[in-house]
Structure 1
Amino acid sequence: MKYLTRPWLVVLLGALAFGSQARADDFRVGFVNTDRIFREANTAKAAQAKLEQEFSRREKELNDLGAGLKSASERFEREAPTLAESQRAQRQKALIDQDREFQRKRREFQEDLNARKNEELQQVLDRANRVVRQVAEQEKYDLILQEAVYINPKHDITDKVIKALNAVK
């Protein structure tokens, strides 16, 4: 109550409120959906194709190894009742060793694939961020968000970014 008796404070608060409203009208916000960029941009599709080509041979070898292990395991299950105890133990140990080797190779494959995927996605993201900056500067955006709980579709500039990203050679 005491502050309302000071007229200069009321005038100052009113001016600040009016000034902040004028600035808020000029403030432009945009949103970019990075998941869509990773799915739809030509650079992301090229990176995905590159990864598939790079890892397809190893993936096929791993699938063949897994199929062979499954076949050997099924054969062991069928033949186990007729095998001598020493043969059964020997084949079971061999299957366990094969499975351990298969799991190791599968884990190495997944680690290598994830590392390469992260490298490729980082390159796509770096390019996309450069394009986002260009679009923001050209269209005079004050803030571009890449993650949000909710965004009004009128602020989504993902299509512009994908179009500009695809135009870059």
Structure 2
Amino acid sequence: MKRFTKAAALTLALSTGLFAANATAAQKIGVINTQAVFQQLPQAAEVETAIRSEFKDQIESVNRLEKDIAYYMEKLKRDGATMSEKEKEEAQQKVLQLRQEYTTKGKELDAKIRQRQTEERNKIAALIKGAIDEIAKEEKLDIVLTAAAVAYIDEDGDANISEKVLKKLTSAK
């Protein structure tokens, strides 16, 4: 009985090993550098331009505040010796008020811009994902990995689908 159990276990181990080898050999793997694709897409540059124009007035407002702060700081530095205590105090209060306004508006603007960038990047990421799915189906790929997850890839081989995804997305534009 012991002999039969050992033989059955050995047969099971060998057959499992053979099936596993066949299963891994049949898989076709693709690799994509999504970050490089994203950076090369014309849509990504257009998004940045669109966001800058969308928030143009608010950016200019924050920049004006920055210039006003610099002006009053310079005025205090330059004319401080000839100013009365009341004038110095008023100028310092003006600087503090402007700094507070600058900080508040700057943080709000930064949050709004980051939110819009995230929204637009998510849209582009969805386009990239769709293109990856299409190419994976066309080339009958079983797995597509990001380049960051791969230690080595033969650049001459056809496993890297980054260029194909980029072409598909730029031609679809």
- The normalised TM-score by structure 2 is 0.86
Are residues 1:160 and 2:171 paired? no
RMSD: 2.1
3-state DSSP of counterpart to 2:55: helix
Structure 1 counterpart of 2:93: 93
Q: Give the superposition deviation at 1:37.
A: 2.2
3-state DSSP of counterpart to 1:148: helix
5 Å-filtered alignment, 1:122-137, equals 122-137=122-137
3-state DSSP of counterpart to 1:47: helix
Give the conservation status (yes or no) of the 8 Å contact 2:72–2:91: no
- Deviations, residues 48-100 of structure 1 (Å, cap 9, x unaligned): 22223223343233223212221221111221222222221121111100111
Q: Give the superposition deviation at 1:8.
A: 2.3
Give the conservation status (yes or no) of the 8 Å contact 2:80–2:88: yes
Distance in 2 between the 1:80 and 1:4 partners? 101
Give the conservation status (yes or no) of the 8 Å contact 1:37–1:44: no
Structure 2 counterpart of 1:21: 21
Are residues 1:108 and 2:112 paired? no
Q: Give the superposition deviation at 1:125.
A: 0.5
Taking a change above 3 Å as real, the CA distance of residues 52 and 4 of structure 1, as seen in their structure-2 partners, is farther
Give the conservation status (yes or no) of the 8 Å contact 2:128–2:165: yes
Distance in 2 between the 1:145 and 1:121 partners? 20
Unaligned residue ranges in structure 1 (runs of 5+): none
Structure 2 counterpart of 1:12: 12
Q: How many residues align?
A: 168
Q: Give the superposition deviation at 1:38.
A: 2.0
Q: Give the superposition deviation at 1:45.
A: 2.4
Unaligned residue ranges in structure 2 (runs of 5+): none
3-state DSSP of counterpart to 2:81: helix
Give the conservation status (yes or no) of the 8 Å contact 1:3–1:9: no
Structure 1 counterpart of 2:77: 77
Identity of aligned residues (%): 21
Taking a change above 3 Å as real, the CA distance of residues 124 and 54 of structure 1, as seen in their structure-2 partners, is same
Q: Give the superposition deviation at 1:4.
A: 9.4
- The normalised TM-score by structure 1 is 0.87
Distance in 2 between the 1:78 and 1:58 partners? 30
